[in-house]
Structure 1
Amino acid sequence: MKWIYVLFALVAGALMPVQAGINLRLRGSLGDPVWAAAVSFGVGTLALLGYLLATRTPAPSLSMAATAPAWAWTGGALGAFFVFATIVLAGQIGATTMMAWLLAGQLTAALALDHFGLVGYQVHTVSWPRVVGVCLLLAGAVLVNKY
């Protein structure tokens, strides 16, 4: 395993509750979680466009874009739902409980996505150590939620 990717994942994961807290504060100022999510996505879009311009990354052709299946265009909507959900959850259950349940849901879904090779993933058959690992994370979410 390339440790730089592990470090990258750890940093990205650590920033998730920070982002949720920032967006929760934005919700407090704007008064609505959907507006906070929309502003968050707008700022993110501007940041990505700025990066693309700064790096002079060429835009894909329309013919290339047309090769994507229809479901591949739903990622942004799922991301918007996720940001909205974290804004609502952070204010209701706190950062630790929110992240525990999000992680439990993510890993449960990831186990199925890997096993069946869905939405572009290579097949990684379910094994008992993977199932035990996910079950331990679910148990951890229950403990975090309770205490």
Structure 2
Amino acid sequence: MKWFYLLLSLIGGLAVGMQAAVNGGLGKKVGPIEATFISFCVGTAALFFMVLFWGKGNILAVSEVPKFQLIGGILGAFYLAVVVIAVPKVGVSGALFAVITGQLLISALIDHFGLFGAQQFPLDLKKLIALGLMLGALYLFHHK
């Protein structure tokens, strides 16, 4: 079952890569903030129907969650706006390489300290070296 979730995550990563290219092009035509808004509106409509037809949770429980858990939409909008702005300047692979590096850095800190209620997975020397290599690779990827 673990492999199913890894494959699903891989497919999600493919979708993010395609999303960056599509939204970067949209941003060139309508403007970066406008493209972000349009993308979120289309995504919201899709999610509305997914909740309507397949949702099994309790959307009203949103009033009971810690307030910091409600910033996910703001973080998503910020991420999408950054990608829409960056893709035309550094390309899809360049933007996503930087995004992935940033994701790995913050996720390692979240894991290490158990931030936001996450389970703790301590940083060790191998992980620190891997993160250093990612930062070095990011430099090499963009260095001319």
Superposed, 1:48-87 pairs within 5 Å as 48-55=47-54, 57=56, 59-61=58-60, 64-87=61-84
> Where has structure 1 moved over 4 Å in runs of 4 or more?
none
Q: Which runs of 5+ in 1 are unaligned?
A: none
Identity of aligned residues (%): 29
Superposed, 1:93-132 pairs within 5 Å as 93-132=90-129
Spell out, residue by residue over 1:1-21, the C-alpha distance to the aligned partner (whole angstroms, 9 max, x if none).
811111112111122221011
Residues matched between the structures, number:
144
Give the TM-score of the pair, scaled to structure 1. 0.90
2:4 paired with 1:7: no
Shift in Å, 1:53: 1.5
Partners of 1:117 and 1:123 lie apart in 2 by 4
**What is the letter of the counterpart of residue 24 of structure 2?**
L
Quote the residue 2:19 is aligned against.
Answer: 19
CA RMSD of aligned residues (A): 1.6
Shift in Å, 1:39: 0.6
Partner-residue secondary structure (3-state), 1:124: coil
CA contact (8 A) 1:96 1:144 kept: no
Partners of 1:56 and 1:110 lie apart in 2 by 28
CA contact (8 A) 1:37 1:84 kept: yes
Partner-residue secondary structure (3-state), 2:120: coil
Partners of 1:12 and 1:73 lie apart in 2 by 22
Quote the residue 2:136 is aligned against.
Answer: 139
Partner-residue secondary structure (3-state), 1:66: helix
Quote the residue 2:38 is aligned against.
Answer: 39
Give the TM-score of the pair, scaled to structure 2. 0.92
Partners of 1:85 and 1:24 lie apart in 2 by 10
Partner-residue secondary structure (3-state), 2:59: coil
